[in-house]
Amino acid sequence: MGKSTKYEAKVPDENGIIPYTDEEHSVWRDLYARQIEVIRGRVCQEFHDGLDILDLPHDRIPQPKEVSEVLRERTGWEVAPVPALINFDKFFKLLSEKKFPAASFIRTRESMDYLQEPDIFHEIFGHTTMLTHQAFADFTHAYGLAGVKASKKERVFLARLYWFTVEFGLIQNGSQLSIYGGGIASSPGETVYSLESDEPIRRPFDPIDALRTPYRIDIYQTVYYVLDRMDDLFELANTDLLALIRKARALGEFEPTYPPKNKEAA
Ligand SMILES: [Fe+2]
């Protein structure tokens, strides 16, 4: 959630249908065609299963309404179309109601490779896919409930937990390292980098560590947290997340592993 965006929300009509142009549908088609190839063998089985369950269209932007129908039956979730930028109050409230806030616009052709704001491709392809999985869905719900109760300062910590799981989580299945985070799975460059580059640090997932780790939203991640089993998120969903935040705050933040923003070019 940045401070400004050139993109405008697409508003559903009285039947809950969002009107998209042919050009916008063709952007989805090209994003989908590229990303479905890149993720093959790189995302976890649960993600592949989610794509099978959702059966997203290849050649047009799916309507939140139709994705909601599948999710509702599977895990009780639905997709709530929102403007590109929403505040934390609204974000947490929607998650606490099992409504996934999805930016409704799609990027322009100039931004096929990189976009800082989340667009509908990121939301639907990257996120709703994993919301078909019960442990993941339960964790996201618990996260929303904790966020509603959290103070402004606690939310800074809570945002990191989301970042290092829902957005940028990796998972180890036996000898196979794979992706479940939607921020990675919707980005062709980071899909490859997160698994195959020697640059980032990959640490076993520990919620307290994740809460203590600062991040930047405008570069590939320098740290990834690796989950053992998706069901570990079940456990986390049943933990007092605000108590974990108190512990993390008492221990303090880790030093950033990325360069300060203004010195990057040096
Ligand atoms: Fe996201």
Please choose, from the candidates 134, 136, 77, 130, the residue with its C-alpha nearest in 3D space to the C-alpha of residue 101: 77
Residue 5 maps to a domain? no
What are all long-range contacts of 206-210, with beta carbons under 8 Å and residues at least 24 apart?
207/161, 207/236, 207/239, 207/241, 207/244, 208/244, 208/247, 208/248, 208/251, 209/254, 210/160, 210/161, 210/163, 210/164, 210/165
Residue 6 maps to a domain? no
Instruction: Give 4 or 247, the one with higher predicted confidence.
Output: 247
From the annotation, which residues make up the binding site?
122, 127, 167
186-229 pLDDT per residue, tens: 999 999 999 999 999 999 999 999 999 999 998 999 999 999 99
Residue 226 maps to a domain? yes
2 pLDDT higher than 70: no
Query: In the prediction, which pLDDT does 26 show?
Result: 98
Residue 127 Cα to ligand 1 midpoint, Å, equals: 7
Residue 83 Cα to ligand 1 midpoint, Å, equals: 13
Residue 165 Cα to ligand 1 midpoint, Å, equals: 10
The mean pLDDT value of the chain amounts to 93
Residue 236 maps to a domain? yes
Residue 10 maps to a domain? no
From the annotation, which residues make up the binding site for Fe cation?
122, 127, 167
Lowest mean pLDDT among 35-39, 69-73, 171-175: 171-175
Query: In the prediction, which pLDDT does 230 show?
Result: 92
Ligand 1 is an ion; its neighbours by CB within 5 Å are 118
109-145 pLDDT per residue, tens: 998 888 888 999 999 999 999 999 999 999 999 999 9
Query: In the prediction, which pLDDT does 128 show?
Result: 98
Task: Using pLDDT thresholds of 50, 70 and 90, give the confidence band for residue 265.
Answer: very low
Residue 44: give the domain boundaries: 22-254
Task: State the catalytic residues.
Answer: 122, 127, 167, 186
CATH of residue 60's domain is: 1.10.800.10
The whole-angstrom separation of Cα 129 and Cα 39 is 13
25-59 pLDDT per residue, tens: 999 999 999 999 999 999 999 999 999 999 999 99
Residue 43 maps to a domain? yes
Residue 13 maps to a domain? no
pTM for the complete prediction?
Answer: 0.93
**236-245 b/e (C-beta count within 10 Å ≥ 16 → b):** bbeeebeebb
Residue 188 Cα to ligand 1 midpoint, Å, equals: 15
Residue 263 maps to a domain? no
Name the domain count of the chain: 1
16 pLDDT higher than 90: no
